[in-house]
């Protein structure tokens, strides 16, 4: 199967360092040589422009200040109701917490305070456009609210059709992630623009709360399409657990907090249908499901399986395979899946979570980008090269690698070389 995919805006004080231009002595007006009046407020520009019409419902209140900082913002609709929003980290504007409504008029009042304490206030009134009739790009947020995920869980957004390269920065600016406690990360696009991943340099710390918003409704994307919807979710990160599968030994090592808690014999993909080597993430868990490979080149069977855990879109699962228990630990006979005994599969279902890392090594083929949530299958340096926006230079992995790369939260892994289960 292929992937388819507040500061309520009222007067508030914004905690941000003031932008200071020039020294502390009086400046000279270059036109007449007189001392510049420091009692004047700072220069402040606000967008959208006053009386602007046909403004996208994805609009933000943008600000540009010289000689001061924004200290108050108030946004109201045409019924006088205050509209909630949150400031951007870089101070460039305020993002409404939900898309604006079509064919409505909004007024933004922004105040900036200069270094001398003098203030400048600008007001802009603008009207949003009618609901767009342009085709929408469908987005899918693979991060569900009120769940507990494993420490390798990336935030994944998929797009259909894919986002063209020239539009990715605009889309990325409308994707927001907050973590508590703070653990900043970055976004990275697949080369074809079909998926974008968010992760931190190191695995999430257990107990972290992650809140995600994909504010894409009505966002102009390229020349002829718009974003489809607002999507939000908040979930937590649970305990650390990872799986390491070695084709040389035909064994799966289960680690909790970096310590081995069990070894399980496996049978991987036979040479004609090899398993993928790389760093993958458990994406789905099914107590019982049906594998139907009749549409695959090497398929042609339908089988019900128990305790199946997907880790690639191409159909690789860990699952119960009582028919191959005699081969597990010594011979690869599967169609690409990691076959384990019924007892082991049942036990694994009880200890794993979506978002747990599974590393497979030593097979005939390497994991392809996008075949699953492949955010951890590259180094951090390679990952950030996929961002459409600048990434802070100081955002780096922890300097000390863990005993088991990719197994312990707080460490960064080294790069690793049809919807049917196989």
Q: Which residues are tagged catalytic?
A: 319, 337
DSSP label of 166: G
- What contacts 102, CB < 8 A, 6 or more positions away? 57, 128, 129, 130, 131, 218
Residue whose tokens read 């007024």: 107
Helix (H), strand (E) at residue 255:
strand 251-256
Edge to edge, what strands does the sheet with 85-87 contain? 43-47, 61-66, 93-96, 85-87
Q: How far apart are CA 345 and CA 320, in angstroms?
A: 5
Beta bridge partners of 179: 210
- CA angle 76/127/70 to nearest 5° reads 50
Q: How far apart are CA 67 and CA 61, in angstroms?
A: 19
Q: Write b or e for each residue in 254-265: b if 16 or more Cβ atoms lie within 10 A of its Cβ, otherwise e.
A: bbeeeeeeeebb
Strand, helix or coil for residue 351: helix
- CA angle 52/54/57 to nearest 5° reads 105
Q: How far apart are CA 191 and CA 362, in angstroms?
A: 26
Strand, helix or coil for residue 55: strand
Instruction: For CA atoms 198, 183, 94, 45, give the dihedral sign.
Output: negative
């Amino acid at each position: 199967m292929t992937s388819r995919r507040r500061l309520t805006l009222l007067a508030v004080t914004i905690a941000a360092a003031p932008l200071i231009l020039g020294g502390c002595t009086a400046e000279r007006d270059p036109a007449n040589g007189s001392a510049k009046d420091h009692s004047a407020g700072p220069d402040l520009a606000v967008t959208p422009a006053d009386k602007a019409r046909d403004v996208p419902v994805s609009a933000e209140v943008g600000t540009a200040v010289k000689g001061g900082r924004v200290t108050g913002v108030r946004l109201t609709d045409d019924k006088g109701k205050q509209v909630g929003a949150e400031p951007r980290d870089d101070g460039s504007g305020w993002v409404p917490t939900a898309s604006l409504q079509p064919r409505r008029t909004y007024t933004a009042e922004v105040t900036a305070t200069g270094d001398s304490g003098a203030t400048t206030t600008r007001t802009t009134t603008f009207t949003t456009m009618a609901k767009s009739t342009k085709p929408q790009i469908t987005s899918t947020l693979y991060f569900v609210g009120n769940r507990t995920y494993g420490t390798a869980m990336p935030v994944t957004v998929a797009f259909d059709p894919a986002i063209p390269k020239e539009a990715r920065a605009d889309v990325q600016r409308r994707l927001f992630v907050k973590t508590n406690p703070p653990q900043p990360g970055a976004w990275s696009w697949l080369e074809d623009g079909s998926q974008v991943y968010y992760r931190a340099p190191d695995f999430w710390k257990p107990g972290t709360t992650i809140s995600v918003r994909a504010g894409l409704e009505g966002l102009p994307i390229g020349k002829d399409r718009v974003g489809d919807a607002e999507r939000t979710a908040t979930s937590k990160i649970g305990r650390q657990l990872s799986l390491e599968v070695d084709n040389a030994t035909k064994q799966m090592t289960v680690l909790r907090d970096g310590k081995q808690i069990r070894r399980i014999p496996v049978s991987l993909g036979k040479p004609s249908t090899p398993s993928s080597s790389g760093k993958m993430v458990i994406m789905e868990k099914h107590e019982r499901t049906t594998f139907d490979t009749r549409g695959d080149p090497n398929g042609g069977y339908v089988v019900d399986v128990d305790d199946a855990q997907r880790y690639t879109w191409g159909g690789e699962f860990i699952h119960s395979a009582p028919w191959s228990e005699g081969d597990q630990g010594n011979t690869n006979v599967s169609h690409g899946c990691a076959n384990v005994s019924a007892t082991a599969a049942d036990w694994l279902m009880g200890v794993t979570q979506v978002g747990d890392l599974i590393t497979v090594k030593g097979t005939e083929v390497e994991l392809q980008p996008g075949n699953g949530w492949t955010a951890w299958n590259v180094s951090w340096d390679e990952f950030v090269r996929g961002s459409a926006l600048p990434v802070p230079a100081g955002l780096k992995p922890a300097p000390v690698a863990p005993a088991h790369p990719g197994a312990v939260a707080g460490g960064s892994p080294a790069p690793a070389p049809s919807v049917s289960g196989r």
